[in-house]
Amino acid sequence: MSTDTVMAYDEALAKFEPVLGLETHIELGTASKMFCGCATTFGAQPNTQVCPVCLAFPGSLPVANRAAIEGIIKIGLALNCTIVEWCRFARKNYFYPDMPKNYQISQYDEPICINGHLDVEVEGRTYRIEIERVHMEEDTGKSLHVGGATGRIQGADYSLVDYNRAGIPLVEIVTKPVEGTDVLAPEVAKAYATELRELVRALGVSDVRMEEGSMRCDVNVSLMPRGAKEWGTRTETKNVNSLRSVERAVRSEIERQAAILDEGGRIHQETRHFSEATGTTTSGRSKEEAQDYRYFPEPDLVPMAPSREWVEEIRASLPELPAARRSRVQGEWGLSDLELRDVVNAGALDLIEETIAAGADAGSARKWWMNELSRHATVQGVELAELPITVEQVARIQALVVSGDLNDKLARQVFEGVLAGEGTPDEVVAARGLKVVSDDGALSAIIDQVIADNADTADKIRSGKVAAAGALVGAVMKASRGQADAARARELILEKLS
């Protein structure tokens, strides 16, 4: 395998402008497959979710899954698409062992959703990604390559095919060419994929797990010299399987293409593969003949004509979409753009909202998740949502703070206890004996001692420098090992020294 020469990214962008295109495949989370009643459970034993239809046994026929059509209409509506009044399935004909019929039921010139857009934000600027089409199709089976050195397709002796995945509903979302991203092309591409994933997840129509392949991105990149009007030849990098890889694939294709163009070379329109290991793309295959898919209307399925009533019913059922939700919580919680972005990036939006729903105020809910709990998550190397604490428990700890039973310092110890598996917040409070000392008698004795130990400071306060009380409060807290009610301590200090 030859290593491609690359041009440094900044230099590449100084000379060329990138044009992007993204094609995203999303497996819908329906109970049964697109055209038959087989289950769709991920990771099932091989060939246990197959039937005459999805194995393309002779004589079998497809019947479309209504829930899948509803799912794609939801996605189309959420992407601001027009849902067409009439469209058909088409057969895409090509031979491949993991595709049982040797044609894929897809849609060709009559996609069900057209002309939408999705706005994404990168470094404070909004980019509108135009959606060309969203169409319905079916997934293929999976091959295991046996023999050869690497278990990869190249050099294998033979392959073993499992058709469990064959026929799972697949939605393909195709953008129009994205121009004007300039140096931020990789970030815009990633932001689009991220936003699309959030959107589809919010719709509840797919689990959009890139690591399990239920969301897969193909990234098209072309370059044109600065100031040129005509787009360059594009390459298509297939099956980029993480958000980070989307960014890396765009960047590496820009660097590779720029080097070729700069030396007067030509870009071949080809399929390339992204390697997670190297972060670069390699040429897929050079076909001696161009593919001719011989699309024609699928005669085994009748046309779809989604009624306007049905479409409006689906529209009315859409949940709040991520962008709308973000602007709502930003207002409700009084966040700056930066704070909001941090919350979103931390994956804390749902958690904070649910904590608020469980009784906490917005500021405290955000504070606990973004500071204390984020720190724990980072230390443990897990996502916030994976921490062993519930939103109800977070709200309970905050309630104890509000009631004065805990202060922030004690609360942090309660979090620690809950995360360590010591029980519920109340159990941790009881077991560790964490209780704010606000009983005036006990507090008064500590204060007297502190005043005696800090006579100078006490004199300052007596002479009117009330601000100096903070130092004594600190001393009281220290002496009580954090259990004192700081506000009450301050009141008592000022009383005693007035």
Q: Where are the beta strands (DSSP E) in 139-289?
A: 142-146, 158-162, 169-175, 215-225, 235-240, 271-274, 281-283
Q: DSSP H helical segments within 178-286, as ranges?
A: 185-203, 243-262
Q: Provide the 10 A C-beta neighbour count for residue 61.
A: 10
Between residues 232 and 306, which has the closer beta carbon with respect to other proteins? 306
Smallest distance, other proteins to C-beta of residue 265, A:
24
Between residues 9 and 42, which has the closer beta carbon with respect to other proteins? 42
Q: Is 259 exposed, middle or buried (0-12, 13-18, 19+ CB in 10 A)?
A: middle
Between residues 112 and 493, which has the closer beta carbon with respect to other proteins? 112
Smallest distance, other proteins to C-beta of residue 179, A:
27
Smallest distance, other proteins to C-beta of residue 54, A:
9
Answer whether 205's CB lies under 8 Å from 31's CB.
no
Distance CA 179, CA 329 (A): 31
Smallest distance, other proteins to C-beta of residue 72, A:
12
Smallest distance, other proteins to C-beta of residue 192, A:
22
Between residues 67 and 362, which has the closer beta carbon with respect to other proteins? 67
Answer whether 85's CB lies under 8 Å from 42's CB.
no
Distance CA 259, CA 4 (A): 9
Between residues 220 and 480, which has the closer beta carbon with respect to other proteins? 220
Q: DSSP H helical segments within 204-242, as ranges?
A: none
Between residues 48 and 345, which has the closer beta carbon with respect to other proteins? 48
* Residues near 57 by beta carbon (within 8 Å), at least 6 away in sequence: none
Smallest distance, other proteins to C-beta of residue 61, A:
5
Of 262, 188, 266, 198, residue with least CA distance to 232: 266
Write down the residue that tokens 């033979």 correspond to.
158
Smallest distance, other proteins to C-beta of residue 308, A:
13
Between residues 64 and 471, which has the closer beta carbon with respect to other proteins? 64
For residue 82, what is the enclosing H or E element? strand 82-83
